[in-house]
Amino acid sequence: METAAEQCDVAVIGGGPAGSTAAALLARRGYRVIALEKAHHPRFHIGESLLPMNLPIFERLGVLEKVRALGVYKRGADFEADNEQGYNTFAFDRAIGNSPPHAYQVWRQDFDEMLFAHARECGANAREGHEAVNIEQRGPRDTRLDVRTDDGGSYRLQARYLVDASGRDTFLSAKKKLRRKNNRHQSAAIFGHFRGAAARGGEDAGNISMYRFEHGWMWMIPLPAGVMSVGAVCWPDYLKQRKGRTLEFLLDTLKRNPALWQRVRGAELIGDEVRVTGNYSYDSKEMGGPGWVLVGDAFAFIDPVFSSGVYLAMSGAERAAAVVDAALREPATEMRLLRKLEKRQRTGMERFSFFIYRFNGPIMRQMFSHPNNTWQLEQSVISMLAGDLFDTPKVLRRLRLFKLVYAIIGMRDWRSWRAGHNYRLAQARAQFTGGNTPLDRC
């Protein structure tokens, strides 16, 4: 005899930014929402740098003041350059559109905990230590989830709709065999948190700083209490060289960029803890179907060079919540709305990906090192860095022009373009030993 299932309108898998956003908004609309987070907050997560376009979502969600209290003020992003100060700042207040003039850097464990608690305050039944382990979809409005608790218990949920925000676990995408590896871009990250690293001066003190080296790119992200997140995203062939202690490998990697190392050399690694994680880019063949939708990294993951992850997750979850609401009230609209949402998300990811795939190439390196605002092209890049990639016609027109200029420069210097293109493809085909593993600590 089948055990009676606990009933709800919407089950949300995952307690990160996407899941908490969807759970909060749907609970506000009066639905019975059960949100499942397999771990307990606070739990570590990388991805500390937010975008200006996150701020309007925070305001609509009702958490802007909470984020402000948690974060370091981020005026812009800076990129290493061979000028007098050693870098160029792409300040968000110069963006073309109406994106906010700043953002924040946050400890993700604190940020995620705050969002999950906010979903609970909005009326969601938000549960920690509860992991969805199996799914059975009996119909468009009848999804059964088997849930295991970390105290050894188990139970079954019956939901009218399922929102999968399980992150890179890709719970439903894996079950449905929807996940597709991105063969154009593969990488992995190695990073740690340091105390005593040199911040930028003056109003640039909260900037995220980006550096290149021959095997990928590096970041420095100022966090509260004088902590600096420092790491590198590397191509597969370089990470395969890792031998011995991970700490030594990280420090040797950071030394490959003299400007970054100058800022870090006197800093102390907090807790002697270095982490390594695969950044394998992927997407899912579909974003949703009758009674289910994928949001955030559960749908797709792209290289984090432009800090797009939290914004794409939360903006997608906000719109997915509206689709779920419409589907439960007017089922005939569901598939049309899901297709529209998927098209929007893929379009935004493709616009980010144009820059991601080319970031380490000679043409893009020149453009970021010596920006030129002819035809407002530099400002269009700032709008991209702010996350304004969906709805502002002026920004989208300038980005199309940027692509045209890029293509013209590429034709003039086709040998460099081809060499960079071939190297990128070779790295994307390379495989890491051990595959997409959990965080590895020294």
What separation, in Å, do the N-terminal and C-terminal C-alpha atoms of the chain show? 48
CB contact at 8 A, 134 and 146: yes
What does the pLDDT read at residue 424? 56
Same domain, 338 and 202: no
**pLDDT one-digit tens code per residue, 221-263:** 999 999 999 999 988 778 878 777 889 999 999 999 999 999 9
Residue 243 lies in a domain: yes
Same domain, 262 and 318: no
What does the pLDDT read at residue 432? 41
**pLDDT one-digit tens code per residue, 140-183:** 999 999 999 999 999 999 999 999 999 999 999 999 999 998 87
Same domain, 222 and 269: yes
Percentage of the chain with pLDDT > 70?
Answer: 93
196 burial type by CB count under 10 A (0-12 exposed, 13-18 middle, 19+ buried): middle
State how far the Cα of 324 lies from the Cα of 334, in Å rounded to an integer. 8
What CATH number does residue 155 fall under?
3.50.50.60
Residue 404 lies in a domain: yes
Beta strands in 1-129 (DSSP E): 6-13, 33-37, 72-74, 76-80, 87-91, 103-105, 125-128
What does the pLDDT read at residue 305? 87
For range 85-93, the mean pLDDT: 95
Same domain, 248 and 331: no
Same domain, 213 and 263: yes
Phi and psi angles of residue 350, each rounded to the nearest 5 degrees, phi first:
-65, -35
pLDDT band at residue 425, thresholds of 50, 70 and 90?
low
Residue 155 lies in a domain: yes
For the chain, the helix, strand and coil percentages under 3-state DSSP, each to the nearest 5: 45, 25, 30
Same domain, 126 and 194: no
**Which of 240-244, 310-314, 337-341, 365-369 is predicted with the least confidence, judged by mean pLDDT?**
240-244
Token output for 397: 């027109």
Same domain, 58 and 82: no
| DSSP notation for 355-401 | HHHHTTSHHHHHHHHS---GGGHHHHHHHHHHT--SS-HHHHHHHHH
Same domain, 53 and 153: yes
| DSSP notation for 264-311 | HTT-EEEEEEEEEEE---EEES-SEETTEEE-GGGTEE--GGG--HHH
In this predicted structure, the answer to whether residue 435 has a pLDDT above a threshold of 60 is no
Boundary residue ending a domain (321, 348, 375): 348
pLDDT band at residue 422, thresholds of 50, 70 and 90?
low
pLDDT band at residue 442, thresholds of 50, 70 and 90?
very low
What does the pLDDT read at residue 433? 42
Same domain, 372 and 241: yes
Q: What is the dihedral of CA 373, 374, 379, 385, to 10 degrees?
A: -80
pTM of the shown model: 0.92
- Number of domains the chain contains: 2
What does the pLDDT read at residue 441? 31
pLDDT band at residue 411, thresholds of 50, 70 and 90?
confident
The single residue listed with the structure tokens 């992927």 is 282
pLDDT band at residue 417, thresholds of 50, 70 and 90?
low
What does the pLDDT read at residue 107? 97
Same domain, 136 and 170: yes
What does the pLDDT read at residue 282? 93
Q: Residue 336: how many CB atoms within 10 A of its CB?
A: 11
Residue 262 lies in a domain: yes
Boundary residue ending a domain (348, 371, 394): 348
What CATH number does residue 411 fall under?
3.30.9.100
**pLDDT one-digit tens code per residue, 272-298:** 789 988 767 899 999 999 999 999 999
Same domain, 93 and 116: no
Boundary residue ending a domain (320, 348, 376): 348
Same domain, 60 and 77: no
State how far the Cα of 255 lies from the Cα of 18, in Å rounded to an integer. 36
In this predicted structure, the answer to whether residue 48 has a pLDDT above a threshold of 70 is yes
pLDDT band at residue 409, thresholds of 50, 70 and 90?
confident
Strands 33-37 and 6-13: parallel
**pLDDT one-digit tens code per residue, 201-228:** 999 999 999 999 989 999 999 999 999 9
Best-predicted range by mean pLDDT among 235-244, 334-343, 356-365? Answer: 334-343
What does the pLDDT read at residue 434? 42
Residue 355 lies in a domain: no
**Which of 11-25, 312-326, 332-346, 410-424 is predicted with the least confidence, judged by mean pLDDT?**
410-424
Range of the domain at 311: 6-71+106-179+283-348
Enumerate residues 6+ apart whose C-beta is below 8 A from 59: none
Residue 398 lies in a domain: yes
**Mean pLDDT over each residue of the chain, to the nearest integer:** 91
Evaluated on CA atoms 51, 52, 57, 60, the torsion sign reads: positive
For range 363-368, the mean pLDDT: 82
